[in-house]
Amino acid sequence: MKKILIICLIAAMAVSMQSCSTRRAAINDLESLVEKVEKNGEEYTLEDWENVIYRCAKIEKKLKEHEYSAEEYREIGTLKGRLAGVVTKDILTNSAKKVISIKEQLDGGTEGFLEGLLK
């Protein structure tokens, strides 16, 4: 009887540990993605950003499969916030570059218009 009880206890511990590692895997995936984007995001192409969005959706689906402690939810929120910050920074940087490009084109267009008009 003791052997059966010990075997059941060991089996329960193994299942519990596996569940915890699976639950933690989603957080680890998110952390890995955030670190990768923070490190390389400035060089990302549109295709790279689409891949980030795809990975975020997969991670979000994994996160919804489990319940987390308040501390873990805070960690998840921090990671999502860091990712949002990097994405926002990239959007603003690219928008500024586009605005400068458009301004230069408009300046050139005005200059060309005046040249054509005054000839």
pLDDT tens for 10-30 read 555 554 444 455 789 999 999
Tens of pLDDT, residue by residue over 29-84, are: 999 999 999 999 888 888 888 899 999 999 999 999 999 999 999 999 999 999 99
> For residues 80 and 55, is the Cβ–Cβ distance under 8 A?
no
Residue spans of the domains in the chain: they are: 2-118
pTM reported for the whole predicted model: 0.65
Cα 68 to Cα 46: distance, rounded to the nearest angstrom: 33
Confidence band for 102, pLDDT divided at 50, 70 and 90 = low
CATH architecture of 2-118: Up-down Bundle (1.20)
Whether 27 contacts 73, CB under 8 Å: no
Identify the pLDDT of residue 92: 80
Specify whether the CB–CB gap between 30 and 76 falls below 8 A.
yes
- Phi, psi dihedral angles at 43 (to 5 degrees): -100, 5
Chain-centre distance of CA 3, in angstroms? 48
